[in-house]
């Protein structure tokens, strides 16, 4: 094969074989022991620490950092994991720059926060490398709970329930557990199959039966689950993708960014993943950035993100945007797609400039056209596959959907659609379920 960055169309192997490993290497390499101790020493051990308040899972950050500083990373890991069982993945994918590290007093004072995310990774990696699972199950309660969806919310819920002594069955429609950790995270953020290893490690608690390839509403009905189990948790995520609502959207070459990201994550050989020469990504979130950056890393010649509003409204953080531009991605703010043009395939996208006004976003008369043999839609995901009879409000399920039914993660109301939020919601639902099943307070 002799493709290059200049080969027209959507083709694989644009780069020399050796480039792929470097391009998709760990984006933020782990700290070694000494680096971690130096980084930990910068923590002021704040009283009622702002970082802890900013963490959706309320990890006791000053305490775990002090445990690293004193040479006890396993204890640090336990501090993290007792609040957030997916602390390993969150250390990799959390937008710490808008959470804990944004409010770190050293960020406020010096513009250089304590490296909380990297320290968390150091602690959790150290423990997981030893294959140790630090938690044990309480005495069996005899209660059985079904968890639908093996993403961060479902797995966090399942783990907490198992720890409390319940028997848990997790049902997952895809072939692998992990949800977006497995299928939705940029490859360079979760290297060496970390998502799968974390699931295996998490399941070491015992008492969790995982069934993959089972789709709710097709292979099994919610009513049956409610009848067979003492409680049900739905963590079904957002399986649908928003449409562009622009003409030409159905042309070949127009794809969902989430599918591209998932395909790349699952590819055994990244050189085999096809990518356009001119890639246009439409959207403003992390999915847009992940799709654009990885297109570039696969060898696309030109990659452009087009977001309909201004830079400050973009839900991908400033850090993510900067990462994209440093990788060579161009970001155009304030333009919306009007039409995808082309004959048999997408060839270009026509955009109109926009104006953000109190009445909403207005398309202006002026615009531009970008060459595009591949167009990624990254304008948000939607709830799909909701079992009949459940109330959907503001596009989401309620956290409590029935006597025996709880919901959490991206599919449920409340919080941002982040891994860490999903973990918190799964964990908290488990606590509620436990209380309901055992009559225990809280």
Partner 1 sequence: MANLASNFIGIKSPNPFWLASAPPTDKKVNVERAYEAGWGGVVWKTLGSEGPPVVNVNGPRYGAIWGADRRLLGLNNIELITDRPLEVNLQEIKEVKRKWRDRALIISLMVPCDEESWKDILKRIEDTEADGVELNFGCPHGMAERGMGSAVGQVPEYIEMVTRWVKQYSRMPCIVKLTPNITDIRKPAEAAKRGGADAVSLINTINSITSVDLDDFAPEPTIDGKGTHGGYCGPAVKPIALNMVAEIARSRETAGIPISGIGGVTTWRDAAEFMALGAGNVQVCTAAMTYGFKVVQEMISGLSDYMDRKGFTDTTELVGRAVPNVTDWQFLNLNYVTKAHISQDDCIKCGRCYIACEDTSHQAIEMGADRTFTVKDEECVACNLCVNVCPVENCITMVQLPKGQVDPRTGATVGDYANWTQHPNNPSVRAAE
Main-chain dihedrals φ then ψ at residue 351, nearest 5 degrees: -120, 150
Per CB under 8 A, the list member of 1, 38, 132, 364 interacting with partner 1 is 38
* Whole-number Å distance between alpha carbons of 442 and 435: 6
- Cβ atoms 125, 88 nearer than 8 A: yes
Per CB under 8 A, the list member of 22, 34, 175, 245 interacting with partner 1 is 34
The distance of closest approach from Cβ of residue 131 to partner 1 in the complex, given in angstroms and rounded to an integer, is: 22
Per CB under 8 A, the list member of 1, 25, 108, 243 interacting with partner 1 is 108
The distance of closest approach from Cβ of residue 213 to partner 1 in the complex, given in angstroms and rounded to an integer, is: 49
Per CB under 8 A, the list member of 21, 33, 44, 440 interacting with partner 1 is 44
* Whole-number Å distance between alpha carbons of 174 and 394: 26
The residue among 87, 66, 83 whose CA lies nearest residue 75 is 66
Per CB under 8 A, the list member of 7, 30, 106, 133 interacting with partner 1 is 106
Indicate if the alpha-carbon torsion angle 153, 159, 161, 167 is positive or negative. positive
Q: Total residues contacting partner 1 (rule CB under 8 A)?
A: 17
Q: Does 32 bind partner 1 (CB under 8 A)?
A: no
**316: which DSSP letter?**
S
Q: Does 41 bind partner 1 (CB under 8 A)?
A: yes
Residues 6+ apart with CB under 8 A from 215: 173, 385
In the complex with partner 1, which residue's Cβ is closer, 68 or 346? 68
- Cβ atoms 372, 281 nearer than 8 A: no
- Cβ atoms 434, 143 nearer than 8 A: no
Cα 373 from chain centroid? 27
Per CB under 8 A, the list member of 40, 244, 352, 430 interacting with partner 1 is 40
DSSP per residue, 184-246: TS-GGGS-TTHHHHHHHHHHTTS-EEEEES--BTTTB-HHHHHHHSSEEEE-----EE----S
- Cβ atoms 157, 428 nearer than 8 A: no
In the complex with partner 1, which residue's Cβ is closer, 106 or 330? 106
The distance of closest approach from Cβ of residue 72 to partner 1 in the complex, given in angstroms and rounded to an integer, is: 12
The residue among 104, 14, 90, 31 whose CA lies nearest residue 62 is 104
Stretch that binds partner 1, among 4-12, 40-48, 236-244, 365-373 (CB under 8 A): 40-48
In the complex with partner 1, which residue's Cβ is closer, 47 or 245? 47
The distance of closest approach from Cβ of residue 45 to partner 1 in the complex, given in angstroms and rounded to an integer, is: 7
- Cβ atoms 180, 152 nearer than 8 A: yes
Per CB under 8 A, the list member of 5, 7, 19, 37 interacting with partner 1 is 37
Per CB under 8 A, the list member of 17, 21, 28, 45 interacting with partner 1 is 45
In the complex with partner 1, which residue's Cβ is closer, 106 or 309? 106
In the complex with partner 1, which residue's Cβ is closer, 35 or 230? 35
Stretch that binds partner 1, among 41-49, 132-140, 204-212, 399-407 (CB under 8 A): 41-49
In the complex with partner 1, which residue's Cβ is closer, 45 or 368? 45
The distance of closest approach from Cβ of residue 37 to partner 1 in the complex, given in angstroms and rounded to an integer, is: 5
Task: Give counts: helices (H), strands (E), the chain.
Answer: 17, 16
In the complex with partner 1, which residue's Cβ is closer, 46 or 413? 46
Stretch that binds partner 1, among 43-51, 124-132, 280-288, 347-355 (CB under 8 A): 43-51
- Contact pattern for partner 1 over residues 251 through 270, marking x by CB under 8 A: --------------------
**273: which DSSP letter?**
S
The residue among 321, 239, 237, 326 whose CA lies nearest residue 283 is 321
Per-residue burial over 242-264, b = 16 or more CB atoms within 10 Å of its CB, e = otherwise: eebebebeebebbbbbbebbbeb
In the complex with partner 1, which residue's Cβ is closer, 40 or 150? 40
The distance of closest approach from Cβ of residue 101 to partner 1 in the complex, given in angstroms and rounded to an integer, is: 14
Q: Does 224 bind partner 1 (CB under 8 A)?
A: no
Q: Does 46 bind partner 1 (CB under 8 A)?
A: yes
Stretch that binds partner 1, among 47-55, 134-142, 324-332, 410-418 (CB under 8 A): 47-55
Other CB atoms within a 10 A radius of the CB of residue 2 amount to 5
- Cβ atoms 82, 75 nearer than 8 A: no
Where in 56-75 is the site for partner 1 (CB under 8 A)? Answer: 69
Binding site for partner 1 (CB under 8 A): 34, 37-38, 40-41, 44-50, 69, 105-106, 108-109
């Amino acid at each position: 094969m002799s493709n290059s960055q200049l080969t027209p169309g959507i083709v694989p192997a644009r780069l020399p074989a050796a480039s792929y490993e470097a391009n998709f290497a760990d984006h933020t390499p782990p700290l070694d022991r000494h680096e971690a101790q130096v980084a930990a020493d910068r923590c002021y051990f704040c009283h009622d620490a702002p970082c802890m308040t900013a963490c959706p899972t309320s990890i006791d950050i000053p305490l775990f950092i002090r445990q690293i500083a004193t040479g006890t990373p396993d204890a640090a890991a336990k501090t993290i994991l007792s609040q957030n069982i997916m602390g390993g993945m969150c250390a990799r994918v959390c937008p710490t720059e808008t959470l804990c590290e944004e409010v770190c007093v050293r960020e406020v004072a010096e513009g250089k926060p304590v490296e909380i995310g990297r320290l968390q990774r150091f602690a959790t990696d150290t423990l997981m490398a030893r294959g140790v699972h630090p938690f044990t199950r309480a005495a069996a309660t005899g209660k059985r709970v079904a968890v639908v969806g093996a993403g961060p919310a479902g797995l966090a819920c399942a783990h907490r329930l198992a720890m409390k002594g319940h028997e848990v069955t997790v049902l997952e429609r895809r072939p692998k557990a992990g949800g977006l950790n497995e299928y939705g995270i940029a490859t360079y953020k979760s290297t060496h199959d970390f998502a799968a290893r974390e699931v295996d490690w998490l399941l070491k608690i015992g008492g969790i039966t995982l069934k993959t390839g089972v789709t709710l509403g097709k292979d099994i009905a919610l009513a049956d689950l409610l009848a067979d189990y003492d409680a049900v948790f739905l963590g079904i995520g957002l399986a649908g993708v928003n449409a562009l609502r622009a003409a030409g959207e159905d042309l070949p070459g127009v794809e969902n960014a989430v599918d591209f990201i998932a395909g790349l994550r699952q590819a055994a050989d990244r050189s085999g993943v096809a990518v356009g020469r001119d890639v246009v990504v439409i959207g403003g979130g992390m999915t847009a950035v992940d799709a654009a950056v990885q297109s570039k890393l696969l060898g696309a010649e030109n990659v452009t993100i087009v977001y309909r509003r201004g830079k400050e409204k973009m839900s991908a953080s400033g850090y993510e945007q900067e990462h994209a531009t440093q990788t060579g991605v161009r970001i155009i703010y304030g333009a919306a797609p009007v039409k995808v043009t082309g004959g048999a395939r997408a060839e270009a996208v026509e955009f109109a400039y926009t104006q953000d006004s109190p009445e909403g976003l207005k398309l202006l008369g002026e615009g531009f056209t970008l060459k595009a043999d591949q167009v990624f839609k990254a304008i948000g995901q939607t709830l799909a596959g909701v079992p009949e009879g459940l109330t959907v409000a503001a596009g989401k399920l309620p956290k409590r959907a029935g006597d025996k039914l709880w919901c959490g993660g991206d599919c449920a109301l409340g919080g941002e659609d982040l891994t860490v939020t999903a973990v918190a919601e799964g964990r908290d639902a488990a606590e509620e379920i436990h209380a309901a099943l055992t009559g225990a307070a809280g």
